[in-house]
């Protein structure tokens, strides 16, 4: 399985990019000190120079330093939302598939109904109801993210449930809880891991969309999407350092997670459709 | 066939029922409920109580649900107190414009992405396939507003071919076609990236099937194998996938409309979300969700018409 993964050069590249950004965001600030707390309006919108390698933004924050700070938020939100959404979705799907019958029908029709509402509409609605903070943002994205894994795991549970070893557990008096946690969920781990990888990429994009649409996490907290959408206002002023570095970070990270996801799918030999 | 159709339509109806419950629940998870949404955060307790008793909000929730559903069936989707217009009127003005945007972009995307996917599958693992796969990966992983921005920079700032702003709602769309080009192109590119990946893998999957080898060994020309045998089979799952991508395309339309100030329901929804105009948000959500359910129902019916295996099983 590991050979299949490493034989895929794109996957190794993707993995490398992810490691690079983790080092960049968390180790970077140790070597590149910047003030990301106080604004410095006198040195706003400056181009790249020796003191600000990637210039400053409209309130004087150092862009390179902010990429590191904002990247932490983007990556944390991406991973945490994918983790939360996947965990809930897996449990939901496994329980629905295991119970079957009316409970399954009701649980899955709820999933269908939520999936019928295009993700961004639901996200914007939720973001307009609450005042977003980073933990709430993770929660909101997870509210939309759990639907995919719930469907996938439920479909797999339906086949696993009929296998002999699951029947044997039942025969020996194993509880439903034990069957689900010890036998069904471990057997869907391939599907789950592959899907969770794509979810991280999606969550980073979603955070960028919400920030762009003005319903992200308010300043002084930052993320790549918020930086990019801030830079969009200066596109005609020619302040390229406010747009392309943040855009590059988002695209590179999302591409990297997609590469890794594709390779994991091949490695686990999971046949599933994205979304 | 009839049995399949009936069961599929019933399933869609159940999902629609679920959608209506979810949207109704959205009305009630609002902080302070619907009354607070209309009267604003500064309303007094007395005012809220008066409003609630006047609009039947003190009745039990199931009763309220059926009251609300009755209103929806009578075509009354609520009233925007922020814009002082009925949600129906807002939708009637904005929905056709979104349909024009999404429809044109989707049709163009299908016309470009399907041949592209087949081409990539035939040329698989050659430099041009890698380049096209890389490009679609890039478009797919890029926030739509960044892609739109690049289009503006290229076609407005550098080349000066098309205006950067979308059409206005004041005059009919067909009289401002040049303003439509960039929004349609942006949404179209994202959709092409999505569809061509599907089409490439669907074609690849069929190229290794036994029937292809049979056709080849019978002496059927490679061109005929590709365009008659493989293409017809590869197109089948694409019908379903296009139906399933409808929510994604509509999300893309929301971002595109907000970038270009395109006066459709995505833009309307975005404005409503920013000004906390909940009746508009909920009305648009309901309409969009019903559209998605209908779209996937249509795709499944089309699939059954095209594929006899579904029809007779």
CA angle A149, A153, A159 (to 5 degrees): 160
Please state, as a whole number, how many other Cβ atoms lie within 10 Å of the Cβ of residue B155. Answer: 17
Determine the distance in angstroms separating the CA of A188 from the nearest CA of chain B, rounded to an integer.
23
- Does the pLDDT of residue B217 top 90, yes or no? no
Among A114, A118, A238, the strongest candidate for a mutation testing the B interface, having the largest count of B CBs within 10 A, is A118
pLDDT bin (cut points 50, 70, 90) of residue A258 is: confident
> According to the model, what pLDDT value does residue A273 have?
39
Average pLDDT on B221-245 reads 82
Rounded to the nearest 5 percent, the helix, strand and coil shares of chain A are 75, 0, 25
Is A121 within 8 Å of B251 when comparing Cβ atoms? Answer: yes
Q: What is the enclosing helix (H) or strand (E) of B190?
A: helix B177-207
Q: Quick check: A103 pLDDT over 80?
A: yes
Say yes or no to pLDDT of B197 above 60: yes
pLDDT at A254 over 80: yes
Q: Do B285 and A122 touch (CB under 8 A)?
A: yes
Phi, psi of A174 (to 5 degrees): -65, 140
The predicted pLDDT at position A47 comes to 67
* Mean pLDDT to the nearest integer, B206-213: 82
CA of B221 vs chain A CAs: smallest distance (Å): 31
A92 confidence band (pLDDT: 50, 70, 90):
very high
Q: Provide the chain B residues 275-294 that lie in CB contact (below 8 A) with chain A.
A: 276, 278, 281-282, 284-285, 288-290, 292-293
Q: How confident is the model at residue B173 (pLDDT cuts 50, 70, 90)?
A: low
Cα gap A237→B109, rounded to integer Å: 33
As beta bridge partners, residue A140 has none
Residue A142: pLDDT band (50, 70, 90) is: very high
Identity of the residue in B18, B21, B146 whose CB atom sits nearest the CB atom of A228: B146
Q: Is 60 exceeded by the pLDDT of residue A270?
A: no
pLDDT at A146: 92
Q: Does A263 touch chain B (CB under 8 A)?
A: no
Q: What pLDDT score was predicted for residue B128?
A: 85
Any CB–CB contact under 8 A between A5 and chain B?
no
pLDDT of residue B181: 82
Contact list in A for residue B145 (CB cut-off 8 A) is 209, 212, 229, 232
How far off is chain B from A72, nearest CA to CA, in Å?
Answer: 19
A250/B143 Cβ within 8 A:
yes
Best of B125, B146, B197, B270 to mutate (most A CBs within 10 Å, chain A): B146
Please judge whether B288 and A118 are an interchain contact, meaning their C-beta atoms are less than 8 angstroms apart.
yes
CB A155 within 8 A of CB A202: no
Q: What is the predicted pLDDT for the residue at A60?
A: 65
pLDDT 10s digits, A193-242: 888 888 999 899 998 888 888 887 777 778 888 888 877 777 777 777 77
- Tell me the CA end-to-end span of chain A in Å, nearest whole number: 24
Q: Give the pLDDT confidence of A39-76 residue by residue, as tens digits.
A: 666 666 666 776 666 677 767 677 787 888 888 888 99
Q: Which of A58, A49, A75 is nearest to A223 (CA)?
A: A75
- Asked if pLDDT for residue A275 goes beyond 60, the answer is no
Contact assessment for residue B196 and residue B135, using Cβ atoms and an 8 Å cutoff: no
- Pairwise CB contact (< 8 Å): B22 & A110: yes
Q: Which of residues 157-196 of A touch B (CB under 8 A)?
A: none
Closest partner CB to A251 (pick from B26, B141, B292): B141
Percent of chain A at pLDDT above 70?
A: 86
Alpha helices, DSSP H only, in A48-118? 63-99, 101-116
For A259, the token pair is 């590469």
What confidence score (pLDDT) does residue B153 get?
Answer: 82
Pairing of strands B79-80, B85-86: antiparallel
Identify the CA nearest to A115 among candidates B187, B241, B253, B244. B244
Query: Min CA distance, B63 vs chain A (Å)?
Result: 21
Compute the average pLDDT of residues B229-258. Answer: 85
Element at B130 (helix H, strand E)? helix B127-141
CB spacing of B29 vs A129 below 8 angstroms: yes
Residue A113 above 50 pLDDT? yes
DSSP string, chain A: -HHHHHH-HHHHHHHHHHHHHHHHHHTHHHHS----SS--GGGTTPPP-SSSTT-B-TT--BHHHHHHHHHHHHHHHHHHHHHHHHHHHHHHHHHHHHH-HHHHHHHHHHHHHHHHS-HHHHHHHHHHHS---HHHHHHHHHHHHTHHHHHHHHHHHHHHTTSHHHHHHHHTT--HHHIIIIIIHHHTHHHHHHHHHHHHHHHHHHHHHHHHTT-SPPTTS--HHHHHHHHHTTGGGT-GGGTHHHHHHHHHHHHHHHHHHHHHHHHHT------
pLDDT of residue A90: 92
Predicted confidence band of residue B241 (pLDDT cuts 50, 70, 90): confident
The per-residue pLDDT of chain A, averaged, comes to: 82
Cβ neighbours of A255 in B, within 8 Å: 137-138, 141
Residues 6+ apart with CB under 8 A from B123: B129
Residue B29 and residue A117: Cβ atoms within 8 Å?
A: no
Question: Which residues 21-50 on chain B approach chain A with CB closer than 8 angstroms?
Answer: 21-22, 26, 29-31
Q: Do B254 and A120 touch (CB under 8 A)?
A: yes
pLDDT band at A272 (very low <50, low <70, confident <90, very high): very low
Concatenating the DSSP letter of every residue in B241-257 gives HHHHTHHHHHHHHHHHH
Q: Which of A13-22, A105-114, B74-83 has the lowest mean pLDDT?
A: B74-83
Q: Residue ranges per domain, chain B?
A: 2-87, 88-306
Judged against a pLDDT cut of 90, whether residue A84 lies above it is answered with: yes
Q: Kindly determine whether residue A117 and residue B292, on different chains, have CB atoms separated by under 8 Å.
A: yes
Six token digits for residue A271: 């046949």
Q: In the 8-state DSSP scheme, what is residue B189?
A: H
Q: What is the pLDDT of residues B50-92, one digit of tens each?
A: 877 777 777 777 888 888 888 888 877 777 777 778 888 888 8
- Using CA atoms, how far residue A266 sits from A7, A259, A272, B57, B167, in Å, is 11, 11, 11, 54, 45
Q: Burial of B202 by CB count in 10 Å (0-12 exposed, 13-18 middle, 19+ buried)?
A: buried
Residue A42 pLDDT: 67
In sequence order, the 6+-apart residues with CB closer than 8 A to the CB of B64 are B56, B57
Domains of chain A as residue ranges with CATH: 60-274 (1.10.3720.10)
Superfamily of domain B88-306: MetI-like (1.10.3720.10)
Q: What percent of chain B shows pLDDT beyond 70?
A: 96
Q: Do B285 and A201 touch (CB under 8 A)?
A: no
The complex scores an ipTM of 0.84
| Contact (Cβ atoms closer than 8 angstroms) between residue B60 and residue B274 | no
Kindly report whether the global pTM for this prediction surpasses the value 0.90. no
pLDDT-derived band of residue A89, with 50, 70 and 90 as boundaries?
very high
For residues A184 and A161, the answer to whether their CB atoms sit within 8 Å is yes
Residue A50 is predicted with a pLDDT of 65
For position B136, what pLDDT does the model report?
A: 85
């Amino acid at each position: 399985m590991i050979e299949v993964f490493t034989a895929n050069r794109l996957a190794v590249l993707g993995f490398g990019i992810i490691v690079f950004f983790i080092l960049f965001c968390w180790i970077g600030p140790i070597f590149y000190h910047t003030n990301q707390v106080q604004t410095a309006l006198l040195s706003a919108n400056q181009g790249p120079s020796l003191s600000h390698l990637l210039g400053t933004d409209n309130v004087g924050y150092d862009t390179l330093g902010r990429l590191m700070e904002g990247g932490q938020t983007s990556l944390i939100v991406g991973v945490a939302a994918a983790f939360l959404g996947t965990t809930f979705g897996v449990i939901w799907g496994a329980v629905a598939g295991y119970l079957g019958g009316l409970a399954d029908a009701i649980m899955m029709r709820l999933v269908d109904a939520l999936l019928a509402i295009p993700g961004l509409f639901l996200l914007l609605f939720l973001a307009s109801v609450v005042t977003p903070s980073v933990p709430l943002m993770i929660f909101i994205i997870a509210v939309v993210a759990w639907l995919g894994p719930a469907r996938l795991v439920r479909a797999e549970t339906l086949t696993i449930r009929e296998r002999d070893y699951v029947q044997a557990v039942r025969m020996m008096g194993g509880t439903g809880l034990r069957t689900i946690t010890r036998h069904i969920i471990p057997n869907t781990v391939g599907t789950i891991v592959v899907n969770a990888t794509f979810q991280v990429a999606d969550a980073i994009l979603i955070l960028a969309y919400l920030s762009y649409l003005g319903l992200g996490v308010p300043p002084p907290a930052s993320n790549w999407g918020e930086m990019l959408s801030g830079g969009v206002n200066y596109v005609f002023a020619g302040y390229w350092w406010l747009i392309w570095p943040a855009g590059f970070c988002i695209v590179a990270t999302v591409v990297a997670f997609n590469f890794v996801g594709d390779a994991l799918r091949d490695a686990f030999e999971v046949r599933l459709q994205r979304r | 066939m009839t049995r399949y159709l009936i069961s599929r339509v019933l399933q869609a109806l159940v999902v629609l029922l679920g959608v209506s419950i979810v949207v109704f629940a959205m009305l009630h998870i609002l902080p302070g409920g619907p009354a607070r949404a209309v009267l604003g955060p500064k309303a007094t307790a007395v005012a809220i109580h008066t409003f609630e008793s006047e609009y039947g909000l003190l009745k039990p929730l199931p009763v309220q649900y059926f009251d609300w559903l009755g209103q929806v069936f009578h075509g009354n989707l609520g009233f925007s107190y922020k814009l002082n217009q009925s949600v129906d009127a807002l939708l009637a003005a904005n929905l056709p414009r979104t349909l024009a945007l999404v429809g044109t972009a989707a049709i163009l995307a299908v016309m470009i992405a399907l041949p592209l996917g087949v081409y990539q599958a035939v040329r698989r693992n050659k430099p041009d396939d890698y380049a096209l796969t890389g490009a679609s990966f890039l478009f797919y992983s890029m926030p739509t507003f960044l892609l739109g921005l690049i289009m503006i920079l290229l076609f407005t700032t550098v080349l000066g071919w098309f205006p950067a702003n979308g059409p206005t709602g004041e005059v009919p769309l067909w009289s401002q076609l040049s303003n439509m080009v960039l929004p349609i192109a942006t949404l179209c590119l994202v959709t092409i990236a999505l569809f061509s990946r599907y089409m490439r893998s669907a074609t690849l999957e069929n190229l290794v099937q036994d029937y292809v080898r049979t056709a080849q060994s019978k002496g059927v020309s490679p061109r005929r194998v590709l365009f008659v045998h493989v293409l017809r089979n590869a197109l089948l799952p694409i019908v379903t996938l296009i139906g399933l991508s409808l929510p994604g395309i509509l999300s893309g339309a929301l971002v595109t409309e907000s970038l270009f100030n395109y006066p459709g329901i995505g833009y309307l929804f975005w404005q409503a979300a920013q000004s906390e105009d909940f009746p508009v948000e909920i009305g648009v959500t309901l309409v969009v969700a019903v559209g998605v359910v209908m779209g996937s129902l249509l795709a499944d019916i089309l699939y059954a018409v095209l594929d006899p295996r579904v029809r007779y099983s």
